[in-house]
Structure 1
Amino acid sequence: MHTDTERCVRAVRSKDARFDGVFFTAVRTTRIYCRPSCPVAPPKPENMEFHPSAASCQRAGFRACKRCRPDTSPGSPQWNVRADAVARAMRLIQDGVVDREGV
């Protein structure tokens, strides 16, 4: 487990992406683990535990969050699915596809 609990709690509450990959937050009540920057509402501090890796969370019996995808690697297509979808939509709009074919 990660040792600086107060710092980890602050990072999770502020959704600080600088801590992504530094530690992972496991939620005891849901048995789900997340990145510090996960967009979901942060859990109560007493329900959090902190791990140094996704593998550590999985060994402890937690499953990956479906929103922040903490089990994926930075730069992989699964890492930021929303950004990929938005970028594709912007390209289609710029290329005039939406005007020609509709939504």
Structure 2
Amino acid sequence: MAKSVSLKTGRTFATVTAAKEHFARILDGREPKQEFAGEDMADVRAAYEEYCAKTNWELKSRPSSFHPTHDRGPGYTTRCFGVTFEDGTTGHFSMDKALRAIAV
């Protein structure tokens, strides 16, 4: 049976694949470093905060905004979700991993 994803914003997805498609459209709809706003911001925040809670990831500062960014490493660059925290620090995360973690 397929796992579903429900966000505290009230948005639900019947499958993880449907949720991934939704967030891919959000990510692809903005230029790097351009902050998400409105419902997009609310959905990204809800997924991130639930992901952190499910994985017991301690947040040293609250997230203040989210934006598209690139994760770079030896031999790869991938577009992903970036987060800026209230203390001015930044980070990034994989929405695919987040969605798999919060799916029920």
Larger C-alpha radius of gyration, 1 or 2? 1
Task: Flag whether TM exceeds 0.5 (same fold).
Answer: no
Larger strand percent: 2
- Provide TM-score, normalisation by structure 1: 0.26
